[in-house]
Structure 1
């Protein structure tokens, strides 16, 4: 009975460890604002609900400008990532997907003002079970806006203001400490000078029996 309980506890502990150590996929939305001349990550995360099942994943990226003419710009098919021959971003797209293909993002290099528009990430998966196969699909849409100057976000501005306030406070505190230490040293020097002056004023025949007072530090 004790051996069975030990095995049960050991199995339960192993399951808990596997649950803690297994990778976690979190679906995060992509940024939608880019700056002309910089690189932009088009984030597309599509989590698998059952990671223990073997799956074949194919990805298609589409671009739709303001006129509504959608075109295929990139694809990941049968384990190979390639840019479409008629892509308007020719030579500027880079595959940035993860090994488990839950993150199937792209990097758009050297963004231009003409790159503003709608990007569609289409993920198709075929799950292979023992008795059957099951296909799933998901779409992520990114409405990209390109500007010539990076817009300051309120949080970053507030953080910068707080940093300057803290810096000013530390500078003031340091100045107060320097003044305090200077006054303390000056006062100690005055006391020492007075003691020496008093000692010199004592007749020479009495100096041997009159030690110079030393201020305790």
Structure 2
């Protein structure tokens, strides 16, 4: 039942999201994942929605990294439409994954290592250009990344899988009980019919003529 409810919930959510996207452009600030597996790629998700999309804006982005026991340093920047990577342990492993409207300014970290664990900071600065003045907006998004050697199983997914197996076992047992019940019911009906036929055949011929079926008027 829980799996069915989750399926229905995500199905309705997907339909609603598609409906909203068809009607009008929308930006949703989704938090980034915080767990990565050694040797795999990790998307450092940074979404900063614009509240006034009709206003012309210049966006600049800076990504910082701070190890668990260390100082913060700049690892990537996007300024005036140009990308640059300062010298850092991540140089050559970062890939820009942002959108054209610069509401999504995410990065992809390739070939994650255990040493990459730490705090990433996505600093987005927007300068809104109005007719009479300019206004700057700063937003910071932090990602506490934890890198493991093997992928950890999600407790929720494990629990859902266990519940699914329990449900399947219950349905199989219920179906088996129904089959046995129906088989016994059919067998009993056949035995009663066979006994009725046997009793009828055992009646003498002269008495069979008197065995008439009453007819209701």
Q: Of residues 48, 70, 78 in structure 1, which corresponds to 2:50?
A: 48
Aligned with 1:156: secondary structure?
A: helix
**Who is 2:113 aligned against?**
112
Could you tell me which runs of 5 or more consecutive residues in structure 2 were left unpaired when the two chains were aligned.
Answer: 1-21, 213-217
Aligned pairs for 1:126-205 (under 5 A) are: 126-198=127-199, 201=202
- CA drift at 1:23: 3.6
**Who is 2:30 aligned against?**
28
Deviations 1:33-80 (A, max 9, x none): 222233322121212221211112121212222342433322333335
Contact 2:74–2:86, Cα closer than 8 Å, also in 1? no
Say if 1:200 and 1:139 are closer, same or farther in 2 by CA, change over 3 A: same
- CA drift at 1:27: 2.9
RMSD: 3.1
Say if 1:52 and 1:200 are closer, same or farther in 2 by CA, change over 3 A: same
Aligned with 2:135: secondary structure?
A: strand
Distance in 2 of aligned mates of 1:97 and 1:184: 67
Contact 1:56–1:125, Cα closer than 8 Å, also in 2? yes
Contact 1:83–1:90, Cα closer than 8 Å, also in 2? no
Distance in 1 of aligned mates of 2:205 and 2:58: 105
| Number of aligned positions between the proteins | 191
Could you tell me which runs of 5 or more consecutive residues in structure 1 were left unpaired when the two chains were aligned.
Answer: 1-19, 212-217
Say if 1:42 and 1:208 are closer, same or farther in 2 by CA, change over 3 A: farther
Q: Which is further off, 153-162 or 170-179?
A: 153-162
Contact 1:83–1:93, Cα closer than 8 Å, also in 2? no
Please report the TM-score for the alignment, with normalisation by the length of structure 2: 0.71
**Who is 1:73 aligned against?**
75
Distance in 2 of aligned mates of 1:97 and 1:76: 10
Distance in 1 of aligned mates of 2:71 and 2:115: 14
- CA drift at 1:112: 1.4
Aligned with 1:48: secondary structure?
A: coil
Distance in 2 of aligned mates of 1:186 and 1:79: 82
